[in-house]
A and B are shown apart, each in its own frame.
Chain A
Amino acid sequence: MSILVDQNTRVLVQGITGREGLFHTEQMLKAGTKVVAGVTPGKGGQTVQGIPVYDTVKEAAAQHGVDASIIFVPAAGAADAALEAAHAGIPLVVLITEGIPTMDMVKAVAEIKALDKVRLIGGNCPGLITPAACKIGIMPASVFKRGRVGLISRSGTVTYETAKALSDAGLGISTCVGIGGDPIIGSTFKDLLPLFNADPETEAVVICGEIGGSDEEDAAAYVKAHMKKPVVGFIGGRSAPKGKKMGHAGAIISGNVGTPESKLAAFAEAGVPVADTIDQIVELVRAKLQAS
């Protein structure tokens, strides 16, 4: 088992004929993902890597059973692409694009949540992977080994490093979800924790957070109230100055919101140990698994 995706998940690629779309379609196929169709408006009828391309998501979904869509559409059209997938009834939409205008995301997230049957991951995220089964994202699959730990992260490279460390240590990953570094995203830590809580393959969960916003605090509250499995935390950007945007649009401390102190206190309150370094994440997970 795993969450959200498995080896049977049928995947659509939106923006499949663009540079990023092409490259990552190839990489996803190599990782064993069942990519069944692509969409690029105006390029319907072509094939890419043997995969048929359609003008609209509706057409692609009617021809192939589609379980999930991954979006590589440039920022100006990315929120619209997510809405197109959602209205075509695709239950899982993974939005990779970075730099999407914030108001576009405010509107799209509200509309998709109102549909109440579509899960949006991202934008500005690396996607998700269940190792050796399905990758819907841009992460290097080679560093992910299948295993016992669920991983949720706001960052890309920190996720890969953590996954590699957990894999090298023999613990492995059940499913890894990169939720994205923007202020407005489709799914937060607390939206995904219940899925890991219910997944029999996942024995522990790692939350890789960072400064800015209060998603880590919300996650800690959920852990305290509901989580049956051990959770380990990590917070990036603990030394960042206030008011400066650290690469991710969401990683900014404004006023007293988003400080590392607040996140550390929330995790401590929930009994979640926080690793100072990525190597320490492995030690803490191991200790938690031995204790439980």
Chain B
Amino acid sequence: MIQFKALLLKEYRETFRDKRALMVALGFAFFAPIMIMGMAKIMIEKLVDEPPVYVKFTGAEFAPKLMLHLADNNLLNFVDVPEDEKTTWEKRNIAIEIPADYAKNMAEGKPIKLHLQADFTDKAVKPPVRRINSAIREFSLSIGYKRLLLRGVDVRLLNPVKLVEQDTAEPNATFILISMMLGIYLMLAAFMSGLSVAIDSSAGERERNVLEMLLCQPVSTLKIVLAKLIGASTIAFIGVVLVLVLTSLSVGFVDLTKIGATFSLDMSTAIFLMLLLLPICFLASACQLFVAFQTKSFKEAQSTVGMLIGIPAFIPFVVSMMDDRPEWLDWLPISGQSLIIESVFKGVDVNWLAVFATSGVTIAITAALVLALAKKLKSEKVVMALS
């Protein structure tokens, strides 16, 4: 036990000695909340905000009521464009022509055509045009309704069928975008944060001849591997905790209620997520150590491991995109945890069998990797990178 403690202490010393390298390793965890907030902000703006649109009207004087209605929807006349936005709207060049006989045709009940001209290949033109379209349709409909009403028609006849959408999600389900991204980032944090530590303590130590010296000591290779595993996965776990804490702190800066959503992470949920991801941290570090020891040089380890971590980190993303999920996904490491995280955020009951199953499988794989590695370290081939 004393031996093991000494080994672990050595690993931690090595890890925490270079503060800058450590900060870079954990940089991902700091970056995640910023990404999530940024995405959420853009999404909310797209969904809710209706920035002013400036349209070049000709014949605006013929349709004062229509102009008022458009102004109510923040669709304004180009003559009123503020100086700093002038070039933008000059370039977008959305023009609407109102015919001179507008008032006459309106009074006589004849159909009126307004012409909207714009370059429809310009992507920036599309949202304003869509808004103009719906505002004019709404205006037209409201006049149509009144025309019929004043002719003694029951205007409810105009809506024979209405589809009412009923969302069966739990009322306390969180905003899907944030929870999905957070799920992916948590998994990535587990894989990314401990990465450099794992490579350094394996391939790195081998090149610095520290490994050889370690193996000369009268300690079992299992203890050495376990110490390295714990060292690397500690950093991975810190990354996970950081992502959780920083996200729940920073989420307060975005007004999710604008789109009828909320996000809150209470203590018990956070602790559950940490416990759920703990085995993943070990698995990630074990994988990284295992692969790094197989390589011939530090450089090769960096590129190979860097590439390999992409694969497991990609799984939660794929899982979240899948519409029909086969049941065995519940059991596998990573995909199992991703699905559980998803149900936590949806507010539905967690499938405890799946929690234990996926954790069990994860731990078993980790154990297998550790044992295999301990065995391999007894061979010269691995230690000298001869294989």
Chains A and B form a bound pair: no
